[in-house]
Amino acid sequence: MVKGRKKRKAKPAAYVVFISHSSSDLWIAEQMAKLISALGANVWLDKKDLKGGDVMADAIIGGIDACNEALVLVSPKSVKSHWVIYEIGAVSGQHKRVTPILNQVDPDAIAPMKGVKSIDLNQFDDFLIQLKKRVIEQRKTKG
């Protein structure tokens, strides 16, 4: 180290939230992503993170590998999506937090999420309050 220079602290890794949703629910997922980003977390969202020519399964697994947690927008369309089920399985297989956000469906609408505490979309601000605490805690432990 050159004399007189201060060693820079490494910037802590950003907290990453993976958003799983049906393509029919993209607008809602984008609004969620904006709110999550405003808390200082990064968001993995297919619209911005999947590029033409990407092998979808590989890109999704890469996003899940990089995330700290996931949320699943559970809607009448997403309960029929094989990609949403795939993403739930991949996140669960890594033993990461996954929160179902319910949009006009019952809490047990999607089989892999039975028994997991869900939050209704109308109470999304409750999820944001909880998430903010996790983002701050991660900064404290890694910063």
DSSP three-state, residue 44: strand
List, in order of start, the domains of the chain with CATH numbers: 16-133 (3.40.50.10140)
**Global pTM?**
0.89
Quick check: 76 pLDDT over 50? Answer: yes
CA trace torsion 109, 63, 99, 19 (10° rounding): -70
pLDDT averaged over every residue in the chain? 91
Tens digits of residue pLDDT in 91-127: 999 999 999 999 999 988 888 888 899 999 999 999 9
Nearest alpha carbon to residue 18 among 77, 94, 81, 79: 94
pLDDT interval class at 1 (50, 70, 90): very low
Q: Would you tell me how many other CB atoms lie within 10 Å of the CB of residue 134?
A: 16
Residues of the chain with pLDDT > 90: what percent? 80
